[in-house]
A and B are shown apart, each in its own frame.
Chain A
C-alpha cells in the first residue's frame, strides 16, 4: 500500500505545485496575491473540457487551447484589476481585493454559462492503467507528473538564461530601477500575469483529467491549497512551489493512509505551521523579503 499511496500523494501534490506556480510567478514579480488565479484555473479546465468533448481534439491541443484562453483572461485581469491600481499609489491590499472581485465575477459567469453540475472529460482520455510492481499508475498521472516537472524546468531555464527572463527578474527586483534601465516593465508585467494564468489553465485541464470533476467552484479549494504551497515553498520561489506542492500532497495522502482521514487537512496544515516555525521564510525562501530570486 505504501508505494501506491506515494503515487497518489505525488499526483495530488503535482497538481498543487502547478497551481502554486502561477501564484508564485505573480507574487515574485508584482508582490501581489492573485486571488482570481483559482478561477482562471477553473476556466482553463472548462476550456479543455469543451475542446476535448465537443471538438474531439487530443489532450495536448486541449491544454494549448486552455493555455491561450487562460493567458487572455490573465491579460484582461491585468488591464482591469491590476493596472489601474498600479498607476495610483494605493494600498497594497487594493489589488488583493480587486482580484477577489474578479474571482467572484468569473465564478458567477461560469455558473451561468456552464451550469452547476460537475462534468467529466471523455472516457477515452482517461487512458491506460499501468501496473508496476505494487503500484498502479494511470497514463494521466504520468502525464501530469511529466508536464508539471517539464514546465518547472522550462520556466527555471527561461528565467535564468533568456533576455526576457532577465528582464522579468529585474522587474521583480525593482520595477522602477528596471524601468530606468530600459526594461518595458508594463510589458513584462502583462507577460508575467498572462504566463501565470496560462500555466494555471493548463493545471486546470490536468486536474480535471485526474479527478474527473470540472465544476465552477473547483477553483476555490485548489486556490487555497495553492496559497498554502506559496507560503510553504517561500514567497515567489519556483523550486519552493514545486516541492512545497509535492510535500503537501504526500502529507495529506499519508495522513489518510496511516492516520485518520478526518485529520487530513489538520495534519497537512499543522505540518506547514511546524515548517514555518523552523523556517519562517518558507522552505526555499531567502531570509530577506524578496524570496530568493
Chain B
C-alpha cells in the first residue's frame, strides 16, 4: 500500500516536471541553438572547449554498464584533449536506469549547464523517454548502448552508435544454424526491459526467417536469480539450442543453471551477452555461448590493440562493448565538433554528426545512415576456453 502511494507521488512529480519542461520549450523555441558555453574564446589552434553532458546508469542494478561507459568516455576525452583541435569537458549525471531520473538529468544538463550535446542514456527505455524532449529542444543526443528498434525514429537530433540488434541477432542466429544444424530452439527473454523485449522480437523473427521451430518461449524478469523452473521445462523439451535475450547478469546465471541441470546445447544471446562479465560470472558454464558483436577485444587491429592495452593499464580490466562504443562515440562527437567549427552551436553539430562517414573506430569502420543509425558490421563470437573468439 505505502509503496504504491510513494510511486504515485513520484510519478506525479515527474509528470509536473515534464509538463514544466514542455512549457518552457514551447515558450522559447528559437533559443534552443543559442550560445551554449561561456568558454567560447578560442585558444590558439583550437576551437575552444565543448561541454558535453553524459546521462548514464551509474548506480543501481545496471551500474556495471554505466561504469564501463564512463571509463570509455573518460579515456576518449583524455586522448581528444591531448591531441585534438577541440577540448572536451564531460559532465556526468546519474539516471539510475530510471526514465524519470534520466529526464531530470538531461534537463539539468541542457538548461543549467548548457551542454552542446548529450551522450547517453544507457537503456533504450530511457532513450524513449528522454529522446523526444531533447529532440524538441534541439540538442543532439547520442546513445552508445541503445540497441532497441525505433530509437532514431524519435527525431532528427537522435543518434546512436550502438549496433542495432536488428543487425546483430539475425547474424548470430544464421551462423549458429549453419554451424550446429539447428532444427528446433527454445526462446528465453526478460519481459520487463524494453531492450530485452525488443531483442526477443528480433530473435523470434530471425528464428522464423531461418525456418526453425520454436518449442517454447519462457520469460523472466531483470534481477531474477532463480531460473530453475524455466530451464527444467526447457530441458524436458530437448531443443537444439536456446536463444536468450537478457542482460549479462541474468544471461550468466541462466548459463550456469542450464549446465548444472545438464542442458548442453549452444546458447545464442542478444547484445547483453556481449560482455567479459558474462564469462566472469558464469565461469566454465559460459563455454559455447554465441553472440554477434561489433566489438571484439582480440581483433587483429592496431587501434583495437592499443585501446585494449591502454584501457587495461588504466582500469585493470578488459574493455567490454559498452566501453568501446562509448569511446568511439566521444571520438565521433569530437570529429563532428571539429568539422562544425563551433563548440556551442547545436544545429551545426547535428548536421556535422549526420554527415559522419568513414570514421575508423575501435568498433570498426563507421558511418551514420540516413536515419542516423550506424552502418557497421558484426562479428559472430563464441566463448571458447574462457574467451570470446570468432565463430567460423
Task: Name A's B-contacting residues (CB within 8 A).
Answer: 1, 4-5, 8-9, 11-12, 93, 96, 108, 111, 115-120, 123, 129, 136, 138, 207, 210-213, 215, 217-218, 220-221, 252-254, 256-257, 260-262, 264-265
CB proximity of A271 to chain B, nearest CB, Å: 15
Cβ of B391 < 8 Å from any Cβ of A? no
**Could you say which residues of chain B place their CB within 8 Å of the CB of A221?**
223-224
**Could you say which residues of chain A place their CB within 8 Å of the CB of B228?**
8, 11-12, 253
Q: Which residue of A lies closest to B225 (CB)?
A: A211
Cβ of B64 < 8 Å from any Cβ of A? yes
- Chain B 257-269 interface mask (CB, 8 Å, partner A; 1/0): 0001110000000
11 contacts between A and B (CB under 8 A): A9-B229, A108-B59, A115-B63, A116-B63, A116-B67, A117-B249, A212-B253, A212-B281, A257-B233, A261-B230, A264-B219
Most chain B CB neighbours (cut-off 10 Å) among A108, A119, A211, A221: A211
The dominant DSSP class at the B interface is helix
Q: Which residue of B lies closest to A253 (CB)?
A: B229
**Could you say which residues of chain B place their CB within 8 Å of the CB of A119?**
281
Complex Cα–Cα for A205 and B10 (A)? 34
Cβ of B236 < 8 Å from any Cβ of A? yes
B226 pairs with A211, CB closer than 8 A: yes
Cβ of B283 < 8 Å from any Cβ of A? yes
**Could you say which residues of chain B place their CB within 8 Å of the CB of A207?**
225
Question: What 10 new A-B contacts, CB under 8 Å, besides A129-B260, A264-B229?
Answer: A93-B2, A111-B63, A213-B253, A217-B60, A217-B223, A218-B223, A220-B223, A256-B230, A257-B232, A264-B220
Task: Name B's A-contacting residues (CB within 8 A).
Answer: 2, 59-64, 67, 191, 218-221, 223-226, 228-230, 232-233, 236, 249, 252-253, 256, 260-262, 277, 281, 283
**Could you say which residues of chain B place their CB within 8 Å of the CB of A5?**
229, 232-233
A12 pairs with B226, CB closer than 8 A: yes
Q: Which residue of B lies closest to A112 (CB)?
A: B59
Complex Cα–Cα for A55 and B43 (A)? 56
Indicate whether A211 sits within 8 Å of B220 (C-beta atoms), given known contacts A253-B229, A262-B191.
Answer: no
**Could you say which residues of chain B place their CB within 8 Å of the CB of A93?**
2
The dominant DSSP class at the A interface is helix
Most chain A CB neighbours (cut-off 10 Å) among B233, B249, B253, B283: B233
**Could you say which residues of chain B place their CB within 8 Å of the CB of A211?**
225-226, 253
Choose among A4, A116, A118, A217 the residue that contacts B232 (Cβ–Cβ < 8 A).
A4
CB proximity of A116 to chain B, nearest CB, Å: 3
Most chain B CB neighbours (cut-off 10 Å) among A215, A217, A260, A261: A261
**Could you say which residues of chain B place their CB within 8 Å of the CB of A136?**
261-262
**Could you say which residues of chain B place their CB within 8 Å of the CB of A254?**
229
A256 pairs with B249, CB closer than 8 A: no
A116 pairs with B229, CB closer than 8 A: no
CB proximity of B12 to chain A, nearest CB, Å: 19
B232 pairs with A1, CB closer than 8 A: yes
Complex Cα–Cα for A36 and B14 (A)? 26
